[in-house]
């Protein structure tokens, strides 16, 4: 059976496996996210493994579904029961009256997603993955080629440990807990920047992104390049696909806001305006991801993009890292993990761990 067929079959059959419900706590400030939790056992993902997941809601899920892809988050494991490196953001808080009637979401939190790039423990990542109850898929892939498994993934995670400096930061929810925020080349912690899904710039070639930002998948591509294993080639999504993704994003944010579900929980219940606040939120988020303009809900920002047939998107997604959804799994421009198939994540290593992901 070919590697491609094997990957497709195993992807379809992979189930989410876990052993205990997390102990969750309310999120910091006015974000709806739970920051802290615990797990009675750590995961089995080896050091250097790429872990790929899919959540059931949120803007990233809607965008990637809109371009025909499945996996929505990517992480690197530092070993069974060990630390995890990833890049993410918590749900932005909401502005007060009257600002929320035009830009419902706090602009700085939407622009510079927090915590950005971070290294956290097993309790924290368990809370992140399962605390919202919406995880549909999780699996890991080891670094591998046609010759068999290798240690390239471990080399990359070890490079990150020794070559990407960190700063210990107290949790916004529980001050007794800390996480390690990872710094960029400029010495400042890396932000999570939604615009990276529109244009990763040259992050995959070791350069800095706009707003000192990356997203989960572009940070991993950055690490592979800097560790000496060559660039992951960026993928160009054509204009029609870009428009489809933008419309999917708008519809998802507006619907989740109206129903009080998903990534933008509680926005719609915070205020009464002369126009629909959820429509404003949807336009604000789409402007942020499509143009890097996070402080406006102006419809002209998106219409200028949608009406220009020359506009495209160029990025690296979680599926591209793993060699899924038609992305190549071997040859130049692929990752060290893409040749592998999906391996089941089980939470079976010893020790109860509590932690916070922001």
Local structure of 351: helix, strand or coil: coil
CA distances from 317 to 181, 189, 199, 220 (A): 22, 22, 11, 10
The Cα 128–Cα 251 span in angstroms is 25
Local structure of 87: helix, strand or coil: strand
How wide is the angle at C-alpha 131 spanned by C-alphas 125 and 132, nearest 5°? 125
pTM: 0.90
The Cα 213–Cα 219 span in angstroms is 9
Q: What is the pLDDT of residue 59?
A: 85
**Average pLDDT per consecutive 10 residues, the chain (358 residues; last block may be shorter):** 37 34 40 88 96 90 94 97 96 82 91 97 96 90 97 98 97 96 97 97 95 97 98 98 96 87 52 75 96 96 98 98 98 98 91 92
CA distances from 200 to 12, 217, 305 (A): 29, 10, 17
Residue showing tokens 């922001």: 358
The reply to whether omega before 177 is within 30° of 0 (cis) is no
The Cα 295–Cα 173 span in angstroms is 26
State the DSSP string of 11-65.
HHH-----SS-----PPSTT-----EEEESSEE-PPEEEEEEEEESSSHHHHHHH
The Cα 263–Cα 309 span in angstroms is 30
Q: What is the pLDDT of residue 265?
A: 54
Q: What is the pLDDT of residue 266?
A: 53
Q: What is the pLDDT of residue 272?
A: 61
Q: What is the pLDDT of residue 274?
A: 65
The Cα 86–Cα 107 span in angstroms is 23
Q: What is the pLDDT of residue 30?
A: 63
State the DSSP string of 147-207.
TEE-SHHHHHHHHHHHHS-EEEEE-SS-TT-EEEEEB-TTSSBPEE-GGGGTB-TTGGGTP
State the DSSP string of 242-257.
HHHHHHHHHHHHHHHH
The Cα 189–Cα 211 span in angstroms is 11
Please list, in sequence order, all residues whose beta carbon lies within 8 angstroms of the beta carbon of residue 115, skipping any fewer than 6 positions away: 88, 89, 90, 169, 179, 181, 189, 192, 357, 358
- H/E segment holding residue 286: helix 277-291
Measured over all CA atoms, what is the biggest interatomic distance in the chain, rounded to whole angstroms? 63
Please list, in sequence order, all residues whose beta carbon lies within 8 angstroms of the beta carbon of residue 122, skipping any fewer than 6 positions away: 39, 42, 43, 81, 82, 83, 84, 351, 353, 355
CA atoms within 13 Å, Cβ hemisphere of 104 = 28
Complete edge-to-edge strand list for the sheet that includes strand 47-55: 166-170, 178-182, 115-120, 84-89, 73-78, 47-55, 135-141, 343-344
The Cα 100–Cα 94 span in angstroms is 7
* 8 A C-beta contact, residue 323 and residue 329: yes
Q: What is the pLDDT of residue 303?
A: 98
* 8 A C-beta contact, residue 302 and residue 287: yes
Q: What is the pLDDT of residue 260?
A: 74
Domain ranges of the chain: 3-356
Residue showing tokens 């993009």: 305
């Amino acid at each position: 059976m070919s590697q491609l067929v094997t990957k497709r079959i195993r992807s379809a059959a992979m189930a989410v496996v876990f052993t205990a419900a997390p102990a969750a706590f309310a999120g910091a400030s006015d974000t709806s996210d739970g920051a802290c939790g615990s797990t009675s056992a750590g995961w089995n993902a080896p050091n250097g493994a790429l872990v790929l997941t899919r959540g059931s809601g949120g803007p990233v899920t809607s965008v990637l579904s809109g371009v025909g892809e499945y996996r929505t988050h990517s992480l690197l494991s530092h070993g069974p029961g060990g630390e995890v490196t990833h890049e993410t953001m918590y749900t932005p808080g909401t502005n007060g009256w009257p600002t929320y009637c035009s830009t419902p979401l706090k602009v700085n939190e939407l622009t510079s997603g927090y915590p950005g790039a971070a290294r956290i423990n097993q309790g924290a990542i368990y809370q992140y993955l399962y605390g919202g109850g919406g995880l549909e898929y999780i699996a890991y892939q080891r670094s591998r080629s046609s010759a068999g498994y290798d240690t390239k993934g471990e080399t990359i995670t070890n490079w990150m440990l020794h070559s990407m400096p960190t700063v210990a930061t107290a949790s916004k929810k529980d001050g007794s807990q800390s996480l390690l925020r990872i710094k960029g080349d400029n010495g400042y912690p890396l932000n999570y920047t939604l615009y990276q899904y529109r244009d990763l710039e040259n992050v995959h070639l070791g350069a800095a992104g706009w707003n000192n930002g990356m997203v989960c998948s572009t940070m991993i591509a950055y690490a592979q390049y800097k560790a000496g294993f060559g660039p992951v080639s960026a993928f160009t999504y054509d204009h029609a696909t870009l428009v489809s993704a933008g419309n999917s994003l708008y519809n998802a944010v507006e619907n989740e806001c109206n129903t009080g579900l998903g990534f933008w929980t509680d926005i719609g219940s915070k205020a009464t305006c002369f126009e629909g606040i959820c429509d404003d939120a949807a336009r604000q988020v789409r402007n942020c991801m499509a143009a890097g303009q996070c402080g406006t809900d102006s419809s002209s920002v998106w219409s200028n993009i949608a009406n220009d047939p020359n506009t495209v998107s160029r990025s690296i997604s979680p599926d591209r890292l793993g060699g899924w959804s038609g992305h190549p799994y071997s040859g130049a421009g692929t990752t060290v993990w893409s040749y592998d198939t999906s391996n089941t994540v089980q939470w079976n290593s010893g020790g109860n761990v509590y932690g916070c992901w922001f």
